[in-house]
Amino acid sequence: MVIRRSLPAFSAAILVAACARRPQPNVVPEPAAAAPATPAAPAPAPAAPAIRQSGVATTLNVPGEIKVDSARVTAADVTKSVVGVFGDSTAVDVNATPDSAADAPSWDIEVHPYETTDRVEHYVRLFTGPAKERIEARLERGTRYEPMIRARMHAGGIPEDMYYLALVESGFDPNAYSRAAAVGMWQFMTSTARDMGMRVDWWIDERRDPVKSTDAAVRFIKDLKEQFGSLYLAAAAYNGGPGRISRGLSRYADDLEGTTGDDLFFALAEKDYLRNETRDYVPQLIAAALIAKEPQRYGMTLTPLPPFAYDSVRVGPQTPIAAVAHAAHAQLADIQDLNPHVLRGMTPPRDSFFVRVPVGDAETFAAAFDSLPASDKEALSRVTSKKGESFATIAKRNGLSTRQLEIYNPNLKVLKSGNLAPGQTVVVPSEAVVAAAAPVPDPSIERYSSGPSATMHVVKRGETIGALAKKYHTTTSALMKANHLRRPIILPGQSLIVGGSSMKAALAKSSKSEKAEATLATKKAEKSEKAQRLMTAAAKQSERDEKAEKTIAARKAKSKASHSSKVVQAAAKAPVKTSSAKKSTKTAAGKAKSSSSRGAKSEKSTAKKQIAGTSSSKKKAPAKAN
């Protein structure tokens, strides 16, 4: 087996491991020369170079040329030591001459049996065609972490070529963030990360730590491998969840009978059960492994990066990262790069904390840190809110933006007026702390995109969400959806997604939602208008019916009265010709007389009542006078 020539750091490591022939030491100063191999030796043998090992990557301080005692170190010793330190995939052919042709690459995962499948061939063409530059850049980024990741996978008992899983997951980006809120190089959700023992809170997010997240990923993959008995089923479960893989295997148990090992994944993938992302996950892994082991075959040239190496120093709580950089004589960006899991520009406020510094800076760190001015080591100050004060007034007084002050005081009570309730303790971060803080919210509730597909805008004073929507040719609703805003209110210093794939998805979703709402509103309006028309028509019809009934009743009454009058008049004028006529006339006359008699009696009765009333009042008058 041969080591890939893209990792020159291994060459020195091979010699060191072979010469030392003992476990690597912890971080120590470079030792003095070792004692002679035998008392008869005329001069002491050169010491093995000191190895700085911070539990992450191994860096060598080689003071001069390394001479190997051929009487003590054999080719077999070298190979055995290398395999023990780095794993089988890093062993070298010590008998090969520099001019000899390299052997064919090898993998410790099943690659060749599946490299001719349709999906694997598709991704090989994609990775070496339209996506070639992007894959090349990500593979180069990975060379920085490859020694560390492979060493931990070997120690954890899983194949080292599962290293390429991180390429598929995140492109080896410690700060990668997915639409599902998975974070880091290995794309852990908050709940899963905590289950795996990582710290995820407002101050620290170890999903962004390349070392601790790799350790967690190794344990997780190993557990899944033991659960499913297949490395590729374990990879699919890593992406899609073990529950879904288990249910799929149970559902199609009869169809999968007789299929074993990694073939189970490809058999299950043909059932149209897995999500597209999970179904293509393993083919992408195989394609990445094929290309990365032979980049020149696919027209790629990879330039290895320096390994991810560091020393660690312990500092107290609330120590600014900027102060660590000053004491380590390093750039702030270098300290941030080594400590991407420290979110707030300072160590957590309660306990001491290990911070990574560049290799070689740990030895003088303590003295340099003690010599820093007290103001440089102060991360926070505290003030008490007074009546009429707001975040804006306190922030302005301390040279901060309102948003920066709000981030460090998420639980303060704000009155309806917008001012702070008096008597509260307000934490005020220093400008150095704010400058070193990562622009991320609370990891437990974060919903944002940090990927290259997202265009971000930092809100300036006076800007409104409507103005930003107009500026970026979108809608207020889409901006709110993309940034998960409940109200159309934004603050200076706030970062907003204003473009990219996330924005397009939000805009499409917003357009569909608005269209659906508009359609529904139109239908409701049409129904309401129709109901109103029916009600109006019914009311008018009722009014017409009532008017018609009154008209008919009046006509009937008038007709009846006219008929009676005509009968009486006709009876009075008509000559008596027959007995029946006489009888009719008498009857009519009788009716008239009866009516007249009733009228007379009524008048007589009324007159009597009036006389009685007058008499009664006369009788009562003397009594009233008395």
Helix axis angle, 75-86 to 132-156, nearest 10°: 100
Q: Tell me the pTM.
A: 0.58
Q: Give domain status of residue 329, yes or no.
A: no
**380-409 pLDDT, tens digit each:** 999 999 999 999 999 999 999 998 898 899
- 28 and 122 both lie in a single domain: no
Domain range for 86 is: 9-90
pLDDT band with cut points at 50, 70 and 90 for residue 4: very low
Nearest-5° angle of CA 72, CA 73, CA 79? 155
User: Residue 510: how many CA atoms within 13 Å on its side-chain side?
Assistant: 18
What does the DSSP assignment read for 371-421?
Answer: TS-TTTT--EEEEE--TT--HHHHHHHTT--HHHHHHT-TT--B-TTSPBP
Least confident segment among 305-309, 312-316, 461-465: 461-465
pLDDT of residue 312: 96
Question: Residue range 538-559: average pLDDT?
Answer: 85
Which has more pLDDT, 586 or 547?
A: 547
pLDDT band with cut points at 50, 70 and 90 for residue 507: low
Statement: residue 67 has pLDDT above 80: no
- 223 and 280 both lie in a single domain: yes
- Tokens representing residue 336 in the block: 């941030």
What does the DSSP assignment read for 169-216?
Answer: HHSS-TT-B-TT--BTTTTB-HHHHHHTT--BSSSBBGGG-HHHHHHH
Nearest Cα to Cα of residue 139 among 111, 184, 173 = 173
Question: Which position has the token pair 């709940």?
Answer: 191
**614-623 pLDDT, tens digit each:** 454 444 444 4
Cα pseudo-dihedral 224, 229, 234, 236, rounded to 10: -140
- 51 and 117 both lie in a single domain: no
Nearest Cα to Cα of residue 324 among 300, 280, 348, 356 = 356
Q: Give domain status of residue 528, yes or no.
A: no
Statement: residue 439 has pLDDT above 90: no
Helix axis angle, 210-228 to 231-240, nearest 10°: 120
Statement: residue 331 has pLDDT above 90: yes
pLDDT of residue 498: 80
Nearest Cα to Cα of residue 477 among 441, 486, 459 = 486
Highest averaged pLDDT of the listed ranges 174-188, 201-215, 523-537 = 201-215
End of a domain among 298, 318, 334?
298
Q: Give domain status of residue 267, yes or no.
A: yes
Question: Residue range 181-207: average pLDDT?
Answer: 93
242 neighbors 249 (Cβ within 8 angstroms): no
Buried b (16+ CB within 10 A) or exposed e, 438-449: eebeebeeeebb
Distances in whole angstroms, Cα of residue 25 to Cα of each of 60, 62, 354, 355: 12, 15, 19, 20
Q: List the beta bridge partners of residue 355.
A: 313
Cβ-based neighbour number of residue 313 at 10 Å? 19
- 77 and 152 both lie in a single domain: no
- Tokens representing residue 562 in the block: 């006219």
Cβ-based neighbour number of residue 624 at 10 Å? 7
CA dist., res. 95 & res. 526, Å (int): 88
Question: Residue range 485-493: average pLDDT?
Answer: 73
pLDDT band with cut points at 50, 70 and 90 for residue 444: low
pLDDT of residue 196: 93
- 86 and 144 both lie in a single domain: no
Phi-psi sector, 196: left (phi>0), alpha (psi -120 to 50), beta: alpha
Least confident segment among 195-209, 314-328, 475-489, 600-614: 600-614
- 64 and 167 both lie in a single domain: no
Helix axis angle, 281-293 to 118-127, nearest 10°: 50
pLDDT of residue 139: 96
Question: Residue range 310-328: average pLDDT?
Answer: 96
End of a domain among 59, 90, 121?
90
End of a domain among 263, 298, 333?
298
Q: Give domain status of residue 133, yes or no.
A: yes
Q: Give domain status of residue 215, yes or no.
A: yes
- Tokens representing residue 26 in the block: 């912890």
Burial-class residue 99 by CB neighbours within 10 Å (0-12, 13-18, 19+): exposed
Average pLDDT, the chain: 77
pLDDT of residue 88: 41
- 143 and 35 both lie in a single domain: no
The count of structural domains within the chain is 2
Q: What are phi and psi of 561, to 5 degrees?
A: -65, -40
CA dist., res. 543 & res. 545, Å (int): 5
Helix (H) or strand (E) holding 303: none
CA dist., res. 213 & res. 308, Å (int): 14
The proportion of the chain whose per-residue pLDDT surpasses 90, expressed as a percent, equals 48
Per-residue HEC secondary structure of 409-430 comes to: CCCCCECCCCCECCCCEEEEEC
pLDDT of residue 16: 37
Q: Give domain status of residue 564, yes or no.
A: no
pLDDT of residue 177: 87
- In sequence order, what are the residues at sequence separation of 6 or more whose Cβ sits closer than 8 angstroms to the Cβ of residue 177? 183, 446, 448, 449, 450, 451
Q: Give domain status of residue 470, yes or no.
A: no
Question: Residue range 454-459: average pLDDT?
Answer: 68
pLDDT of residue 292: 94
Question: Which position has the token pair 């476990």?
Answer: 23
pLDDT of residue 576: 52
pLDDT of residue 308: 96
- 135 and 57 both lie in a single domain: no
- 240 and 151 both lie in a single domain: yes
- 16 and 131 both lie in a single domain: no
Burial-class residue 129 by CB neighbours within 10 Å (0-12, 13-18, 19+): exposed
- 85 and 226 both lie in a single domain: no
- Tokens representing residue 174 in the block: 């410690």
Statement: residue 125 has pLDDT above 50: yes
Nearest Cα to Cα of residue 160 among 90, 234, 111, 230 = 90
Nearest Cα to Cα of residue 457 among 431, 479, 434, 489 = 479
CA dist., res. 170 & res. 358, Å (int): 25
- 152 and 214 both lie in a single domain: yes
241 neighbors 85 (Cβ within 8 angstroms): no
Least confident segment among 276-280, 417-421, 440-444: 440-444
pLDDT of residue 41: 36
- Tokens representing residue 37 in the block: 């191999």
Q: Give domain status of residue 228, yes or no.
A: yes
